Chain A
Amino acid sequence: MADSPADKLSQQPAPAPILGPGYSFASVTDKISAIVLIRRPPKWWILGFAGAFALVMLLLYSITYLFAVGVGIWGIQIPVAWGFAIINFVWWIGIGHAGTLISAILLLLRQQWRTSINRFAEAMTLFAVSCAGIFPVIHMGRPWLAYWLFPYPDTMKMWPNFRSPLVWDAFAVSTYATVSAMFWFIGLLPDLATLRDRAKNRAARIIYGFLAMGWRGSAVHWYRHETASLLLAGLATPLVLSVHTIVSFDFAYAIVPGWHATLFPPYFVAGAIYAGFAMVLTLSIPVRKIFGLQDFITMRHLDNMGKVLLATGLIVGYGYMMEAFSAYYSGNQYERFMILNRMGGPYAIIYWCLVACNIVTPQFLWSRKVRSKAGALFAIAMVVNVGMWLERFVIVVTSLHRDFMPSAWGMYYPTRWDITTFIGTIGLFLALLFLFIRFLPLISIFEMRALVSEEEKKVAD
């Protein structure tokens, strides 16, 4: 494990462990499953869930009003015909990248430190994709016709326009959501069986039993499970890259200055991983503290995630620089105007906030001291979350609001409904997370047990 290239940097001082000392198979299982089966829901959970649920209601209220009146309740207009909905979509989709990346790519690369965070990250992915998936549908003028984007057998023999990136997007996002959900569920199977076996409550036994799909832990089961996981990991890996690449095509395909850039696919993917890891940090730091999981999600994990954050943050920073450079180097007056307008136009404050959040702040991660403080990491991750939202705002709004014809320029201001819908999806995300940590093992029990055996082996050696 110490040989893997990712850990070479941290080799000089002995690498921090990825599992605290003194755990046996039983104690790992006890500790993790107890959160679901034994402990009563703590007060903070009830309060937190109630708050998140209230926000879900706000979301439903906003969407109901939206369907009743139309997208005119938002601040979008001509020329800025896309606003918060698309910003939020790209933001959530970006957040939804870390899970699959951690599970699939790190699985394939045999990075075992991922074990304690992958379940959590995958769940987060799924919930973020759920939040993201709402927006492309509700942002349509006639959302009840959203299925027209799919090539379904239609009596009028109408097909979608395969030249449009929005169609690619519909495929990419739905595929990604499906594969992520499958990957997550298959990973859950052995743990669901554990919960089934340990549950005292009959209802819980039936539900977990149903979900465990007859898992008995036979060698054949384990063999097939391993194979399926690897296959899905192989399948999911290109998806991590393709989803955000295709999301970036929504912009790069257009002729709008500020969108029309070949840089967009890698830049978007890096941004997505950046955002995803920031969100994983944002969530895992409080969770490990609350549940006392410091032994499972160790400082080593946080340190590694901090490094990934720094690396992807640098790629994103490079992206911003290249955007400005290619605008200058193109000699195209519209491109040049666009970048100057971003930096000095009416939305300049947002651009500079974005630079401060996404480029300046992560530089603190160079310091090992910062990376070893959970609080500091949490703060930086929060700033990056905000920064990535601002990035999407800058891309969507500042590119559109002043494009080719000065006569058609305008300003975009969100309305209260833009804000309630956005906050509502944060509520949905949190509500799903609350349910997840209450009803499912938030750390993969069987994989942690595998770590125990490896640790033991190491000790034995």
Chain B
Amino acid sequence: METEKKNGAQLDVDIATLRQAASERTTPRFWRSLDELAATPEFREHAENEFPHGANDITATLDRRELLKVMAASAAFAGLTGCTKLPEQRIVPYVRQPEQIIPGKPLFYATATTLAGVATGILVESHMARPTKVEGNPDHPASLGASDAFAQASVLGLYDPDRSQAEIHDGRIGSWPEFQNELSAALAAEKGSGGAGLRLLTPTITSPTLASQIRAFLKTFPSAKWHQYESVARDNVREGAKLAFGEYVNTVYLVDRAEVILSLDSDFLTSGPGCVRYSRDFSRKRRVESPESKMNRLYAVESTPTNTGAMADHRLKMRATEIESFARALAKELGLAAAAGPAFSSSVPPEWIPAVARDLKQHAGASLVVLGDHQPPIVHALVHSINQALGNFDKTVYITQPIEETPINQWQSIGELTADMRAGKVTTLFILGGNPAYDAPADLTLKELLPKVKFSARLGLYEDETSALCHWHIPQAHSLESWGDAKAYNGAITVSQPLIAPLYGGKSEIDFLAVLTGQAGEPSHDIVREFWKAQQTDVQAFDAHWEKTLRDGVMAGVALFAKQVSLKPGIGADAPAAAQQGLEIIFRPDPTIWDGRFANNGWLQELPKPLTKLTWDSVAMLSPKTAQRLGIKSEDAVELKYQGRTIVAPAWVMPGHADESVTVFLGYGRTRAGRVGTGVGFDAGWIRPYATPWIGTGLEIRKTGAKWALAATQTHNSMEGRDLVRVATLDEYRKNPQFAQVDAEKNPLSLYPEVKYEGYSWGMAIDLNACTGCGACVVACQAENNIAVVGKTEVMIGREMHWIRIDRYFEGDLDDPRTYHEPVVCMHCEDAPCEVVCPVVATVHSAEGLNEMIYNRCVGTRYCSNNCPYKVRRFNYRLYSDWETPSLFGMRNPNVTVRSRGVMEKCSYCVQRINAVKIEAEKQDRTVRDGEIVTACQQSCPSEAIVFGNINDPESAVSKLKKKNLNYSLLEELNTRPRTTYQARLRNPNPEIEKVAI
């Protein structure tokens, strides 16, 4: 600001002024020209009239292709690169702590990613101070080394060229000092009333430091109000806890102690707080070593098919509104005083509920009932009472203090805020993150109210729907660029460290609040550190404690302990509401882009939704029976009318969906997401009413007659009677341990002598009994191997580039099928059909058994793909890799070639990782230890379904797996002799429900 004032009058730029201007800048940022630096009026005029402001207007009028060009140009124009900009403060590397950065050697730093405030510990791989890859933090309880797709994709989020790169003031470029000036004026105006017109809107906050800052701010402005809002809020969970215990609490499951689990409309294995950990714990209880092994049992009762339902031994489809009746019936069966709910609309097998109840009771203390977040509070309370009745508390489930710093009913909170805005009570509004203009319930009309606020400022990663309606937009620093702290699902605290200085000069939430609380200019590192120092009684030991916290990625000695709570009596004793008639609508967060925050993340857009295998779109999902009744087919554009609002959506007929029920997914239909996410899909939020944000009835659905083409990566759902996924029940396996060895011809005849592998011989085993189909591996592979995103039209014609895909097959009844997930990577066949047909020897077998792809040699005949029975080869039909956007260069794994057009590519078993470990081992004059090489898919897998290693070593984990009688090869009758093999899937049905005759 000062600089501008000084130079404002000057017409010519002189060098002295420039030097001064450059030195006065405190934050590292790029300037576009010397004129800008000097901030001459010409430049300002130019900047305002010509480029960045113009770009904002362009979004409204130009199509996406044009926009794309402009955005790419702007990125290049701004001179932004992913070059090394070290954070200013010292950050501490994980475990290995070299004296300095060694070129070519990545370092790993522990930090955390958060989703809806809940942290998952991660390690970030940093090449020359450029974060390139996220891994789970083995020391963090929510991760144990694994991660989910969101965490994996956060690297792309960091380097996203569409992230906002400048302060925007009423549509024009502003500056941070200018903002601070205006802010002080606004705050000064509020001072008199104690901040009566002051509002702060944040997403869920679990960060102790941030919360302390907010509290300090509220102390200065006692009449100000703090609102929290997320469109995928866990209000029902909180309110259910309040119903049950009289207070907000946090529930943590110990899935690894549960023998019998009942999941009620929940997807606890792949979504929600702690899902990565739950998935691991669940799969450990499912591992079958021999016919003598035991296995847990999972029942799922659900409306929308989920990954958890696909893993279940027994799955019952049921309308979401009827889950309450189910919970009541179960409670009654368990002897609780619950009043019966309305009758089920679909037939529930009569033996089901008593059998489940018996099974749960038999495993009292080792059973677990989990409920979906979106179910009404009363059902949550009922489930608490059921778990209590089963004696599961403190065994498979425990209660802690809430992990939110200030747990509130967020839905109520946003309601109050909009009411105040409507009444004109809000004069100054700060919005930290979130995107309420897009995702607040449409009937609250936040979009119309927001521009009327006198002073509104928004801190956001993108200049999105909300920013467009605020006076000020401040670019937010990405979580990998900022200091902070957050709690995991069980309260474990991680102090997150920045891996890189903000690429686009963003501010973190802590920086922003520091301005509000008068700590402006204080580095966020100091604020976080000081906060924790103040918590520490032993000040002497703090330095060591701090160092260790940063290094380990989890703070010692602060975990939340099980809390003693007492259940209120008589839960569910009141008669429930009458049955809700009519077509049901269920709102769900999207499995890959959640509430829309990941809309501009190409990896997540192109990650197939686990059950539909759709990309780049969300759908209105309905059961085959309902679709038939309504005459609707998949890809019909249908009009959904709910509570007076209508929206057009593509229909998707989903086997296994509850009848007379439609699921829509939030997060699509963004209007200002960026070049990737803008205009993709439809906004289900538009018909989502404030009163019933999750489940409701009375939906009207009508065919429009138009079609809505969707991009699915898998269009055929049946196995066609081929034994690609081999399944048996545990009993069948015990009776016939060799069931998976269908037509095993172990030593097929060959004209050629067997190739002997001296030394290493790599192989992989994939456990179908563990894989939940979550998709973390797909994104992990994409990040590790620089795999390109191709876009919807290319996916529609089958040109997606993923090296690992998760096949999903349905088996049995169309209305209620069994669902199987099967990850497919390159099989690295011993007798690889692809190798012989390549005319230029571009794909060859290595001395360690890898089927290698030589990009430089490939001329692109694609014969190898035709001859690959597994169809794991992917071809660069066009130039898919982005060779132009500078900000993406920094993201790439320097050890993997970025492919050009016209070459074939495929899974390499992460050969760069193999070689890195081998080099290290050779330096130490030893052989590679088992488990030392971890492929990207394996590392990310929450359920440890993928094992990789040396099959020449009989003691390696992978060799042992391959020796198991559950081990089989895909299409082994072709004699390709794959190195990737599968462990057959097992089911553990309750004999009382499934009467099997063998």
Residues of A near any B CB (own CB < 8 A): 69-73, 75-82, 139-143, 145-146, 148-149, 158-161, 163-167, 170, 250, 253-256, 333, 337, 400, 402-411, 413
Q: Which of B797, B859, B863 is A145 in contact with, Cβ under 8 Å?
A: B859
Question: Who on chain A is nearest to B870 by CB?
Answer: A405
Q: Does B183 contact A (CB under 8 A)?
A: no
Q: Is the CB of A81 within 8 A of B866?
A: yes
* A148-B840, A149-B859 known; A405-B797 Cβ under 8 A: no
* A141-B902, A404-B870 known; A81-B865 Cβ under 8 A: yes
Given pairs A166-B837, A166-B839, A404-B870, 5 additional interface contacts (CB within 8 A): A70-B902, A145-B859, A149-B859, A161-B840, A407-B714
Q: Is the CB of A71 within 8 A of B714?
A: no
- Measured between beta carbons, the chain B residues less than 8 angstroms from A143 are 859
Complex CA gap A402/B718 in Å reads: 12
Encode contact with A along B853-896: 1 for CB under 8 Å, 0 otherwise: 00001111111011101110111111100000000000000000
Complex CA gap A146/B722 in Å reads: 39
Question: Who on chain B is nearest to A167 by CB?
Answer: B839
Q: Is the CB of B839 within 8 A of A255?
A: no
Specify the main secondary structure of chain A where it touches its partner.
loop
- Measured between beta carbons, the chain A residues less than 8 angstroms from B720 are 337, 406
- Measured between beta carbons, the chain B residues less than 8 angstroms from A76 are 862, 877
Complex CA gap A419/B46 in Å reads: 48
Q: Is the CB of B833 within 8 A of A142?
A: no
Q: Which of B863, B869, B875, B901 is A403 in contact with, Cβ under 8 Å?
A: B869
Complex CA gap A158/B874 in Å reads: 25
Q: Is the CB of A407 within 8 A of B716?
A: yes
- Measured between beta carbons, the chain A residues less than 8 angstroms from B95 are none
> What's the least CB distance linking B543 to chain A, in Å?
55
Q: Does B247 contact A (CB under 8 A)?
A: no
Complex CA gap A402/B715 in Å reads: 11
Q: Is the CB of B861 within 8 A of A140?
A: yes
- Measured between beta carbons, the chain B residues less than 8 angstroms from A337 are 720
Q: Is the CB of B871 within 8 A of A79?
A: yes
Question: Who on chain B is nearest to A147 by CB?
Answer: B859
> What's the least CB distance linking A134 to chain B, in Å?
15
- Measured between beta carbons, the chain A residues less than 8 angstroms from B809 are 406-407
- Measured between beta carbons, the chain B residues less than 8 angstroms from A254 are 833, 837, 863, 866-867
Q: Does B805 contact A (CB under 8 A)?
A: yes
Q: Which of B858, B862, B870 is A81 in contact with, Cβ under 8 Å?
A: B862
Q: Is the CB of B839 within 8 A of A149?
A: yes
Q: Is the CB of A81 within 8 A of B875?
A: yes
Complex CA gap A403/B722 in Å reads: 12
* A142-B902, A403-B871 known; A170-B716 Cβ under 8 A: no
Encode contact with A along B86-113: 1 for CB under 8 Å, 0 otherwise: 0000000000000000000000000000
Q: Is the CB of A166 within 8 A of B863?
A: yes
Question: Who on chain A is nearest to B718 by CB?
Answer: A406
Q: Which of B822, B836, B878 is A163 in contact with, Cβ under 8 Å?
A: B836
Q: Is the CB of A142 within 8 A of B858?
A: yes
- Measured between beta carbons, the chain A residues less than 8 angstroms from B797 are 75, 77, 410, 413
Complex CA gap A220/B36 in Å reads: 88
Encode contact with A along B685-722: 1 for CB under 8 Å, 0 otherwise: 00000000000000000000000000000111111111
- Measured between beta carbons, the chain A residues less than 8 angstroms from B799 are 72, 77-78
Q: Is the CB of B838 within 8 A of A161?
A: yes
Q: Is the CB of A170 within 8 A of B839?
A: yes
Question: Who on chain A is nearest to B724 by CB?
Answer: A405
> What's the least CB distance linking B365 to chain A, in Å?
41
Q: Is the CB of B901 within 8 A of A255?
A: no
Q: Does B807 contact A (CB under 8 A)?
A: yes
Q: Give me the 10 closest cross-chain CB pairs, A-B, nearest first.
A: A141-B860, A141-B902, A72-B877, A72-B878, A408-B871, A81-B862, A407-B807, A166-B839, A77-B798, A142-B902
Q: Which of A158, A404, A409 is B715 in contact with, Cβ under 8 Å?
A: A409
Q: Is the CB of A166 within 8 A of B866?
A: no
Within 8 A of A (CB), among B802-858: 805, 807-809, 822, 824, 833, 836-841, 857-858
- Measured between beta carbons, the chain A residues less than 8 angstroms from B866 are 79, 81-82, 254, 256, 400
Complex CA gap A254/B865 in Å reads: 11
Q: Is the CB of B901 within 8 A of A141?
A: yes
> What's the least CB distance linking A55 to chain B, in Å?
26
- Measured between beta carbons, the chain B residues less than 8 angstroms from A256 are 866-867
Question: Who on chain A is nearest to B840 by CB?
Answer: A148
Q: Does B971 contact A (CB under 8 A)?
A: yes
Complex CA gap A159/B844 in Å reads: 13
Q: Is the CB of A407 within 8 A of B824?
A: yes
- Measured between beta carbons, the chain A residues less than 8 angstroms from B722 are 333, 404, 406
Question: Who on chain B is nearest to A163 by CB?
Answer: B836
- Measured between beta carbons, the chain A residues less than 8 angstroms from B83 are none
- Measured between beta carbons, the chain B residues less than 8 angstroms from A71 are 860, 877, 902
- Measured between beta carbons, the chain B residues less than 8 angstroms from A400 are 866
Complex CA gap A80/B879 in Å reads: 19
Complex CA gap A141/B799 in Å reads: 14
- Measured between beta carbons, the chain B residues less than 8 angstroms from A149 are 839-840, 859
Q: Is the CB of B863 within 8 A of A404?
A: no
Q: Is the CB of B805 within 8 A of A160?
A: no
- A-B pairs with beta carbons under 8 Å apart, 13 shown: A69-B878, A77-B797, A78-B799, A78-B871, A141-B904, A164-B838, A166-B861, A337-B720, A405-B807, A405-B824, A406-B720, A407-B824, A410-B798
- Measured between beta carbons, the chain A residues less than 8 angstroms from B824 are 405, 407
- Measured between beta carbons, the chain A residues less than 8 angstroms from B970 are 405
- Measured between beta carbons, the chain B residues less than 8 angstroms from A148 are 839-840, 857, 859
> What's the least CB distance linking A399 to chain B, in Å?
9
- Measured between beta carbons, the chain B residues less than 8 angstroms from A159 are 841
- Measured between beta carbons, the chain B residues less than 8 angstroms from A79 are 798, 865-866, 871
Q: Which of A81, A160, A406 is B839 in contact with, Cβ under 8 Å?
A: A160
* A403-B871, A409-B715 known; A82-B862 Cβ under 8 A: yes
- Measured between beta carbons, the chain B residues less than 8 angstroms from A164 are 836-839, 863
> What's the least CB distance linking A427 to chain B, in Å?
26
Q: Does B1 contact A (CB under 8 A)?
A: no
Q: Does B974 contact A (CB under 8 A)?
A: yes
Complex CA gap A407/B714 in Å reads: 6
Q: Is the CB of B721 within 8 A of A255?
A: no
Complex CA gap A143/B840 in Å reads: 13
Question: Who on chain A is nearest to B794 by CB?
Answer: A72
> What's the least CB distance linking B588 to chain A, in Å?
25
* A145-B859, A161-B838, A407-B809 known; A70-B901 Cβ under 8 A: yes
Complex CA gap A257/B720 in Å reads: 15
Q: Does B903 contact A (CB under 8 A)?
A: yes
Complex CA gap A408/B720 in Å reads: 13
Q: Which of A78, A253, A410, A411 is B873 in contact with, Cβ under 8 Å?
A: A78
Q: Is the CB of A70 within 8 A of B879?
A: yes
> What's the least CB distance linking A175 to chain B, in Å?
16
Q: Is the CB of A406 within 8 A of B869?
A: no
> What's the least CB distance linking B389 to chain A, in Å?
43
Q: Is the CB of A255 within 8 A of B869?
A: yes
- Measured between beta carbons, the chain B residues less than 8 angstroms from A170 are 839
Encode contact with A along B899-915: 1 for CB under 8 Å, 0 otherwise: 00111100000000000
Complex CA gap A71/B724 in Å reads: 32
Complex CA gap A195/B874 in Å reads: 56
Q: Which of B714, B718, B858, B871 is A141 in contact with, Cβ under 8 Å?
A: B858
Question: Who on chain A is nearest to B871 by CB?
Answer: A408
Question: Who on chain A is nearest to B822 by CB?
Answer: A407
Question: Who on chain A is nearest to B721 by CB?
Answer: A333
- Measured between beta carbons, the chain B residues less than 8 angstroms from A407 are 714, 716, 724, 805, 807-809, 822, 824
- Measured between beta carbons, the chain A residues less than 8 angstroms from B808 are 407
- Measured between beta carbons, the chain A residues less than 8 angstroms from B833 are 254-255
- Measured between beta carbons, the chain A residues less than 8 angstroms from B862 are 76, 81-82, 141
Q: Which of B859, B871, B874, B904 is A405 in contact with, Cβ under 8 Å?
A: B871
Complex CA gap A256/B974 in Å reads: 11
Question: Who on chain B is nearest to A142 by CB?
Answer: B902
Q: Is the CB of A161 within 8 A of B839?
A: yes
Task: Name the residue among B794, B863, B901 with the largest chain A CB count within 10 angstroms.
Answer: B863
